[in-house]
Amino acid sequence: MATPLLSFLFLTFLFFSAHSELCNPQDKKVLLQIKKALNNPYVLASWNPNTDCCDWYVVTCDSVTHRINSLTVFAGPVSGQIPAAVGDLPFLETLEFHKQPNLTGPIQPAIAKLKNLKFLRLSWTNLSGPVPSFLSKLKNLTFLDLSFNNLSGSIPPSLSLLPNLGALHLDRNKLTGSIPYSFGTFSNVPDLYLSHNQLSGTIPHSFANMNFTVIDLSRNKLEGDASVVFGSKKTTQIVDLSRNLFQFDLSKVVFPKSLTSLDLNHNKITGNIPVEFTSLNLQFLNVSYNRLCGQIPVGGKLQSFDYSSYFHNRCLCGAPLPSCK
Ligand SMILES: *[C@@H]1O[C@H](CO)[C@@H](O)[C@H](O)[C@H]1NC(C)=O
Ligand SMILES: *[C@@H]1O[C@H](CO)[C@@H](O)[C@H](O)[C@H]1NC(C)=O
Ligand SMILES: *[C@@H]1O[C@H](CO)[C@@H](O)[C@H](O)[C@H]1NC(C)=O
Ligand SMILES: *[C@@H]1O[C@H](CO)[C@@H](O)[C@H](O)[C@H]1NC(C)=O
Ligand SMILES: *[C@@H]1O[C@H](CO)[C@@H](O)[C@H](O)[C@H]1NC(C)=O
Ligand SMILES: *[C@@H]1O[C@H](CO)[C@@H](O)[C@H](O)[C@H]1NC(C)=O
């Protein structure tokens, strides 16, 4: 008696599980191609063709359309190149490969097809080749992170055409050339991270119009005057220009009241520390290893910083450095 009943229940279960599958068959086919192209890594073990792909790990389905809208691979290791099939998930809004040292090759050109992409992070991988200019066609992007890779060549000026970008991370690569002039024309100003590259030349004059909240240009080979980054009308908060070849007179710069963190260490900056620094709400300051001179103004947060915030300058003096003669 029990056996036919169990069989009936089992068949009923199979029937309903097959028919209650939410996953789009085309998306499932593409995901299985991706799994195969990555040589069936353990992190994709849940991608079983007999189950609903909306239940698989590292992907999510849209709650209304049930189309795959996110693919985020950072939990377990994969190796090889980013499969071209990722371009065939047309509803993808989030694509992430993170901390994958064995992920190599170029930034997959098929990503250009993902017009709905909002969040693209390919970071801490070993991708090489250029930062492709096709990324500027992904108009819905709000977050673009290509940091910690082996990308080379120059920065495509067209990235400034991305209308909704909130953050742009191109730091920790091998990028060369200068900062594009167009980066002073973003319609929505992103937080900008270009540190740890081999960028050269000067900061474009167009930056006078750019109200970055966060700008990190540290550890490059940038030179000349960096005062265009600042300005009394801006609302900039965090500026890191350290370890470059900047050469300008700090006394002549007008700093925004909003500034909370300023790192200028290891440049060729001259002049003295402006008295207006005493009225800023600075949480962090480092002007060490420059060519500054004169007394550190007394007041505000300036005496609360460590002497190493000021040391190795030409003739800077006063607390927390030894007193002026
Ligand atoms: C990367 O590949 C190397 C050589 O094939 C292997 O020894 C290493 O375990 C891999 N690392 C990861 C995180 O998969
Ligand atoms: C890239 O690969 C090299 C050697 O294969 C490895 O030492 C390095 O950690 C990898 N980089 C990243 C960011 O994973
Ligand atoms: C992407 O942007 C287009 C217009 O540029 C819009 O029609 C579409 O709904 C956006 N997609 C998403 C997922 O927001
Ligand atoms: C980084 O790219 C260069 C070519 O641009 C290549 O010679 C080098 O092996 C790459 N390094 C790693 C760790 O992949
Ligand atoms: C900077 O942005 C803030 C707020 O977004 C705005 O109030 C301010 O006028 C802007 N300044 C400039 C110079 O664009
Ligand atoms: C300032 O920068 C110098 C040079 O990198 C470093 O040695 C020092 O520890 C830093 N001090 C602070 C307070 O950040």
The protein residue whose alpha carbon is closest to atom 11 in ligand 4 is 150
Ligand 3 pocket, residue 140 CB under 6 Å: yes
Provide the mean pLDDT of the chain.
Answer: 94
- Residue 152 pairs with which residues in a beta bridge? 174
The tally of domains found in the chain comes to: 1
- pLDDT over 70 at 260, yes or no: yes
* 176 pocket-lining for ligand 4 (C-beta < 6 Å): no
- Give the model's pLDDT for residue 6: 55
Determine, yes or no, domain membership for 8: no
Residue 272, ligand 3, Cβ within 6 A: no
Q: Indicate whether 99 pLDDT > 60.
A: yes
CA–CA gap between residue 75 and residue 100 (Å, rounded): 9
* Rounded Cα gap, residues 198 and 249, in angstroms: 24
Asked whether residue 223 is assigned to any structural domain, the reply reads yes
| Tens-place pLDDT, residues 51-74 | 999 999 999 999 999 999 999 999
In 3D space, the residue among 111, 100, 110 whose CA is nearest the CA of residue 148 turns out to be: 100
9 pLDDT above the threshold of 90: no
Rounded distance between C-alpha atoms, residue 113 and residue 109, angstroms: 8
Evaluate whether residue 282 is within a structural domain: yes
Q: Considering the domain boundaries, does residue 243 fall inside one?
A: yes
User: 188 in a domain, yes or no?
Assistant: yes
Whether 232 lines ligand 5, by a CB cut-off of 6 Å, is: no
Atom of ligand 1 nearest to the CA of 100: 13
pLDDT at residue 10 in the model? 54
Closest CA to 74 of 57, 91, 93, 86: 57
Q: Cα-Cα-Cα-Cα dihedral of 282, 224, 245, 193, to 10°? A: 60
For ligand 4, mutation pick of 102, 128, 172 (most atoms within 8 Å of CB) = 128
| Averaged pLDDT for residues 190-218 | 97
Residue 299 has what DSSP assignment? S
Q: What is the DSSP letter of 63?
A: T
Separation of alpha carbons 277 and 63, rounded Å: 51
pLDDT at 300: 95
Range 32-36 average pLDDT:
97
Distance 39 CA to ligand 1 centre (A): 13
Residue 188 has pLDDT above 50, yes or no: yes
Q: Given pLDDT bands bounded at 50, 70 and 90, which one contains residue 76?
A: confident
Instruction: Specify burial of residue 298 (Cβ count, 10 A radius: 0-12, 13-18, 19+).
Output: exposed
Decide if 32 is inside a domain: no
pLDDT bin (cut points 50, 70, 90) of residue 1 is very low
Q: How many CA atoms lie within 13 A of 7 on its CB side?
A: 4
pLDDT band at 17 (very low <50, low <70, confident <90, very high): low
Please check the confidence at residue 147 and state whether its pLDDT lies above 70: yes
Q: What is the CATH number of the domain that holds 98?
A: 3.80.10.10
∠ CA(44), CA(45), CA(49), 5° rounding?
A: 95
Ligand approaching nearest to the C-alpha of 267: 6
Smallest Cα–Cα separation from 179: which of 159, 212, 157?
157
> In the chain, what percentage of residues exceed pLDDT 70?
94
Asked whether 191 and 170 are in contact (CB, 8 A), the reply is no
In a domain, 300, yes or no: yes
Q: Is residue 138 part of a domain?
A: yes
Residue 167, pLDDT score: 98
Range of the domain at 276: 58-317
pLDDT tens for 236-252 read 999 999 999 999 999 99
Does residue 8 carry a pLDDT above 80? no
Mean pLDDT on 221-228: 97
